[in-house]
């Protein structure tokens, strides 16, 4: 099936490129607006990739739209099809359900569709799927906890906004530490938000006299947690494991901060991968249809320099 899809996709692309050799093709990029740190980074890398690719491929035009809610994103996509005559669409859906039918319509109109990060509700719509590895994110985090605390210990867990992404991460984290002596005292939603996490951590510190480590699962949440620990003057917490690779946190890991010994990536730059692969597909005969999963990597002081992007806002 996948092979069929890939060959078909490649043939369709070859036909498209063949017939449109001289004229410019338009690539539509539709992403959520920068409403939190990670999305801010994603917006930055999208713009950065577009600027770079417009130089590399003079025959390609890019149109970028950022939406602050799913309805607006649907409008953006309809406008791109109606007025910009796009040949390919790169979309990071705000939410899966409301975007599925509109993106399906785009696909049925013969336009190449690349879906990023959040999958659609119906399988087989997109030609290319580029995504981060949420189960892997949880698993790598859990494995790090095991290696950092071989004797076991008591930890508290911070969850994101209740969603499939959060469930996949937490379930795989729990599976990774299952059977070990690592004991989860409590898990609470910090909603990927610094202020909320600060307050939740304050309350955890009041509730538990002894906490050995924190899985903050996100760097924004880790910053709130660290501020609460510092304010309370508690010394029992050995380290805080964040995630997603915010540049300030990567820098602290690189510089050997004992409270932040590691990070687990979930790179917002995956949007750049998606745009780049789409451009390659449009302009060459290289087949790019299928799935491209970007692994979550453990960042330690040794390799942190490779994950530090000073220009990114995230």
Partner 1 sequence: MSDTTAPPRRGFTLPPMTVIGPVLALVLLIVLGASLNSNFLSAANVTNVLARSAFIGIIAVGMTFVITAGGLDLSVGSMAAFVAGLMILVMNAALPTLGIGLPLVLLGMGVALLAGLCAGLLNGLLITKLGIEAFIVTLGSMGIYRSLVTWLADGGTLSLNFDLRRFIRPIYFDGILGVTWPIIVFALVVIIGEIVMSRTAFGRHAAAVGSNEHVSHYSGISVARVRLVTYVMLGLLVGIATILYVPRLGSASSSTGVLWELEAIAAVIIGGTVLKGGFGRVWGTVIGVLILSLIDNILNLTSLVSPYLNGAIQGIIIVLAVILQRGRKASS
Nearer to partner 1, 9 or 37 (CB): 37
Q: Which of 108, 203, 210, 306 binds partner 1 (CB under 8 A)?
A: 203
Q: Supply the angle between the helices 96-108 and 70-84 in degrees, to the nearest 10.
A: 10
| Among the residue ranges 29-37, 123-131, 134-142, 273-281, the one whose residues contact partner 1 (CB under 8 A) | 29-37
Nearer to partner 1, 67 or 277 (CB): 67
Q: What are the Cα distances from residue 273, in Å, to 53, 179, 257, 288?
A: 11, 37, 31, 11
Q: Which two tokens stand for residue 5?
A: 């899809």
Residue 243, phi then psi, degrees to nearest 5? 170, 160
Q: Which of 30, 43, 73, 172 binds partner 1 (CB under 8 A)?
A: 43
Nearest distance, CB of residue 33 and partner 1, angstroms: 7
* Pair 154, 215: CB distance under 8 Å: no
Q: Pairing relation of β-strands 298-299 and 263-264?
A: antiparallel
Q: Pairing relation of β-strands 60-67 and 25-32?
A: parallel
Nearer to partner 1, 103 or 269 (CB): 269
Nearest distance, CB of residue 259 and partner 1, angstroms: 15
| Among the residue ranges 4-12, 93-101, 106-114, 205-213, the one whose residues contact partner 1 (CB under 8 A) | 205-213
Nearest distance, CB of residue 194 and partner 1, angstroms: 5
| Among the residue ranges 37-45, 96-104, 124-132, 278-286, the one whose residues contact partner 1 (CB under 8 A) | 37-45
Q: Which two tokens stand for residue 278?
A: 């789409």
Nearer to partner 1, 26 or 33 (CB): 33
| Among the residue ranges 108-116, 136-144, 217-225, 289-297, the one whose residues contact partner 1 (CB under 8 A) | 217-225
Radius of gyration of the chain (CA): 21
Nearest distance, CB of residue 162 and partner 1, angstroms: 6
CA–CA distance, 149 with 170 (Å, rounded to integer): 18
Per CB under 8 A, 158 contacts partner 1: no
- DSSP per-residue string spanning 1-37: -HHHHHHHHHHHHHHHHHHTSSS-EEEEEEEE---SH
Q: Which of 44, 57, 129, 173 binds partner 1 (CB under 8 A)?
A: 44
Nearer to partner 1, 255 or 291 (CB): 255
* Pair 103, 125: CB distance under 8 Å: yes
Three-state secondary structure call for residue 248? helix
| Among the residue ranges 8-16, 201-209, 269-277, 290-298, the one whose residues contact partner 1 (CB under 8 A) | 201-209
Interaction with partner 1 in 170-199: which residues (CB under 8 A)?
Answer: 186-189, 192-195, 198-199
Q: What are the Cα distances from residue 134, in Å, to 195, 304, 307?
A: 24, 20, 18
Q: Is 268 exposed, middle or buried (0-12, 13-18, 19+ CB in 10 A)?
A: buried
Q: Which of 13, 27, 29, 39 binds partner 1 (CB under 8 A)?
A: 39
Interaction with partner 1 in 253-282: which residues (CB under 8 A)?
Answer: none
Give me the residues that bind partner 1 (CB under 8 A), please: 33-37, 39-41, 43-44, 159, 162, 186-189, 192-195, 198-200, 202-207, 220, 223-224, 227, 231-232, 248, 312-314
């Amino acid at each position: 099936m996948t092979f069929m899809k890939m060959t078909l996709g490649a043939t369709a692309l070859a036909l498209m490129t063949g017939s449109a050799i001289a004229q410019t093709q338009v690539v539509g990029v539709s992403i959520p607006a920068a409403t939190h740190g990670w999305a801010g980074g994603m917006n930055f890398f999208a713009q950065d990739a577009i600027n770079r690719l417009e130089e590399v491929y003079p025959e390609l035009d890019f149109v970028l739209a950022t939406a602050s809610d799913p309805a607006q994103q649907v409008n953006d996509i309809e406008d791109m099809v109606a007025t910009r005559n796009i040949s390919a669409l790169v979309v990071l859906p705000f939410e899966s359900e409301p975007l599925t039918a509109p993106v399906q319509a785009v696909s049925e109109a013969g336009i190449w569709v690349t879906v990023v990060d959040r999958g659609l509700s119906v399988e087989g719509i997109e030609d290319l799927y580029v995504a981060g590895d949420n189960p892997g994110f949880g698993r790598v985090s859990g494995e790090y906890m095991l290696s950092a605390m071989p004797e076991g210990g008591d930890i508290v867990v911070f969850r994101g906004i209740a969603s499939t992404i959060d469930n996949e991460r937490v379930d795989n984290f729990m599976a990774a530490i299952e059977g070990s002596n690592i004991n989860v005292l409590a898990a609470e939603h910090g909603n990927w938000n610094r202020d909320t996490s600060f307050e939740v951590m304050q309350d955890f510190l009041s509730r538990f006299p002894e906490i050995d480590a924190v899985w903050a699962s996100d760097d924004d949440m880790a910053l709130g947690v660290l501020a609460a620990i510092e304010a309370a003057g508690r010394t029992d917490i050995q380290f805080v494991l964040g995630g997603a690779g915010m540049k300030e946190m990567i820098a602290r890991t690189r510089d050997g901060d004992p409270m932040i010994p590691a990070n687990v990536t979930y790179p917002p730059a995956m949007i750049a991968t998606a745009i780049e692969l789409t451009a390659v597909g449009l302009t060459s005969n290289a087949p790019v249809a299928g799935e491209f999963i970007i692994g979550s990597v453990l960042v330690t002081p040794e390799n942190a320099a490779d994950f530090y992007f000073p220009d990114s806002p995230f």
